[in-house]
Structure 1
Amino acid sequence: MTTGPLRIVRVANFVTPVSGGLRTALRHLGAGYRAAGHTPVLVVPGERRTVEEQEQGLVVTLPGPLLPGSGGYRLLADRRAVAAELERLAPDRLEVSDRTTLRWTGAWARRHGVRAAMVSHESAVGVLRTWGVHGCVAAAAADRLNARTARSYDTVICTTDWAAAEFRRLGVRNLARAPLGVDLAALGPQAAADRAAERARYAAPGQVLLVLCSRLAPEKHPALALDALAALRSAGVEAVLAVAGTGPLRSRLAARAARERLPVHLLGHLAGRADVARLLGCADVVLAPGPVETFGLAALEALACGTPVAVNRGSALPELIGTAGVAAAPTGAGFAEAVRELLARPEPARRAAARARAERYGWPAAVAAFLAAHGTAPVTAR
């Protein structure tokens, strides 16, 4: 275990000003590393090179091309430029958040004597299936990718047992479990009057307010939220849906809502954390249909706000939410049934259970677990 301060350089793709969970996790981990006495640096792609000091530490943006059809994601595609930046930064630890296009950084770290970790943020087989690769072909390709990832890095950090399972079945030994967290101070239950005032913006008295807080991209399966809304309304439940987030599927979802006359409020990206908290907190149920997340920060944020969640039973989220939500079959009918089950619980009880579950996942514990995976610990409390 290293006891002195370290320069922890983190490299990530698929981060934009309007992206969600990964950007949030990187920000909180960086701020936590810094508060623990280490020097965090984050390298991400963007339109042009910038260097900015933030609460999470130094953030270096390198030019990267747009990924077609991704809704704004860019990639760190210039290996020479990234390698030169890493050499300039001289990390003591390397933390990488993309096991596809950035896996080469593991070899770079080995050549330079730097201990390196890859963070598993999504199920490899789930992502491949989203891209149209099916069955045993997706499983075999995921196994090859995961085996190569494990060989390339000193440590593979998995945020849930569900995430670790696809590595454990290959006999991978260099795994570390480190959960993510939620900002329990910034996100909390609202007073009843404030909650009523906020929900009145989206739902009439007596209606059920559903909320989806997600990037509107194929791997997140946002159409399942509309499927659930349609199923509930067909069953006589007066439900409405508010959607926070943007992405390549936004126009398709808007067209469907108009065509089927579904009451859907497409709110776009909510930049303010207070705006997100108010929306999550005023919902009756938050939907989390994504099948490939290995943790699910949006669902955890909903729980922190005192709102139960209906989650895709094929994801890591059932492990996360426990009895504070319901694991749904990945169909509109399945999510509609989960919503009805949650609504059948007394509101004070379901809101209290949601908050209590979230309180198991504070960021200080997450930061400590990530530092332990890097073979270090807090140096000082600032």
Structure 2
Amino acid sequence: MRIAQLANFVGPASGGMRTALRALGAGYVDAGCRRLLVVPGPEDARTSTAAGDVVQLRAPRVGGGYRLIVEPWRVTEVLEEWGPTSVELSDKLTLLPVARWARRSGVGSVLLSHERLDDMLALRTGLDATSKVSVALLNRLLVRSVDTVVVTSEYARGEFQHVADAAGCPVLRVPLGVDLGTFRPHAREPVDVLRLVHAGRLSREKSPHLAVATAVELHRRGLPVRLDVYGVGPHRSELVDIAGDAPVRFRGYVDSPARLSRALAHADVALSVCPGETFGLSVLEALASGTPVVTADRGGARELVDETSGAWGSPDPRALADAVLAVAARPVPSRRAAARARAERYPWSATVGSMLEVHASVAMPESRSRARRVTSSSTATTAATTREPMTIAR
């Protein structure tokens, strides 16, 4: 198979999506597939790596360190040249024209849904119901445009199920994985402080405000507590204000997974409390590092934690503080062993195997030749008259 992975809104600090793209791509190549990755960047560039070719298309900044490919025809030109048997879309909004190209060209298409739009928009805007109609309309369009939708949790499946049934589009659940070699338990120094950790982007849709407020609630109760926050984002100043005089330390972005694992392993409890999280790679990374996790009682992250590896509460600082104390009261060796055992149920190899089955189910043997059935004369004419040709720096 020849699998093309396409992603927008990928930035230097977009940890979860970058991690998934990298792990899946490496797994596809290890399984004998050809793999292409197309992402936005400051300039056109093409590189060859051990995990396949990477094409970067110049794209403008759209805030938060992200870039957005605003010319989808440039993506399809790359695909027509490369000839995939299937494409894997990691963005619902901006790459829809590529899904239409795939259908016209006989190329299989898979939408890997990384967010639940209705709840994500509600978390960003504070408006709960106003966007639900427009999101439902978009989802109807999506399931009619792709061959298969892949979600990472039952919670994420919820926004698609009814519209997908009507369109006859399969919605398959494939949990993501964790690097169990890099994220692992580490020796810890005993201290007389309840050590909490939160790792993630500091933007409203990730609910870091709720994690900080939980630590503040524990501090208000007179407990010796410390929260280390790892990550960057647009709302750091708001979080500093929420923390006040509570012992909350903002550590910034960690560019080394091994260093992040050590930071996670040194905590007693990890906070991953976003109620709109569709999966929660940070949950698995903490669990794999031997640290139990407290989550909100709804959302995809909740599905990763059981009663031995963590706890959950309503998305309220007082309820989550109670959950933290319940976890901290358990014997340290048993709660850390349970966390690691829970993570070991989610190796990346299982995710890759399931995704390969999905790609095999949508790929058509003739798609490669169909995708290349574009005459050089028509391509040259179109590029000369209506488009600026893509310049790829090697």
Q: Same fold (TM over 0.5)?
A: yes
2:224 to 229, 235, 238: 238
Matched, 1:209 2:206: no
Contact 1:13 1:76 in 2 (8 A): yes
2:368 alignment partner in structure 1: none
2:206 alignment partner in structure 1: 220
Segments of structure 1 that go 5 or more residues without pairing to the other structure are: 1-5, 200-204, 378-382
Matched, 1:302 2:286: yes
Matched, 1:11 2:17: no
2:145 to 139, 148, 152: 152
SS in 1 for 2:13: coil
1:28 to 11, 14, 23: 23
Q: Normalising by structure 1, what TM-score? A: 0.90
Contact 1:29 1:56 in 2 (8 A): no
2:176 alignment partner AA: L
SS in 2 for 1:43: strand
Contact 2:29 2:51 in 1 (8 A): yes
SS in 1 for 2:88: strand
2:273 alignment partner in structure 1: 289
Contact 1:231 1:336 in 2 (8 A): yes
Q: Normalising by structure 2, what TM-score? A: 0.87
Moved over 6 A (4+): none
2:227 alignment partner AA: L
Q: 1:134 to 1:254 in 2, by over 3 A?
A: closer
1:184 alignment partner in structure 2: 180
Q: Tell me by how many angstroms 1:133 deviates.
A: 6.6
Q: Distance in 2 between matches of 1:113 and 1:170?
A: 23
Q: Distance in 1 between matches of 2:228 and 2:34?
A: 39
Matched, 1:139 2:113: no
Q: Distance in 1 between matches of 2:258 and 2:128?
A: 42
Q: Distance in 2 between matches of 1:21 and 1:108?
A: 27
Q: 1:11 to 1:354 in 2, by over 3 A?
A: same
Q: Tell me by how many angstroms 1:86 deviates.
A: 2.0
1:57 alignment partner AA: G
Q: Tell me by how many angstroms 1:135 deviates.
A: 3.6
Q: Tell me by how many angstroms 1:217 deviates.
A: 1.0
1:174 alignment partner AA: P
2:147 alignment partner AA: D
Q: Tell me by how many angstroms 1:190 deviates.
A: 1.4
Q: Encode CA deviations 1:208-249: one digit per residue, 9 max, x unaligned.
A: 111010011111011111100110011111111111111111
1:358 alignment partner AA: A
Matched, 1:276 2:260: yes
Q: Distance in 2 between matches of 1:316 and 1:59?
A: 30
Segments of structure 2 that go 5 or more residues without pairing to the other structure are: 363-394
Q: Distance in 2 between matches of 1:270 and 1:8?
A: 30
Contact 2:164 2:170 in 1 (8 A): no
2:47 alignment partner in structure 1: 52
Matched, 1:319 2:315: no
Q: Report the number of matched residues.
A: 358
Contact 2:143 2:164 in 1 (8 A): no
Q: Tell me by how many angstroms 1:140 deviates.
A: 1.9
Q: Tell me by how many angstroms 1:330 deviates.
A: 0.9
2:385 alignment partner in structure 1: none
RMSD: 1.7
2:336 alignment partner AA: R
1:249 alignment partner AA: H
2:28 alignment partner AA: Y
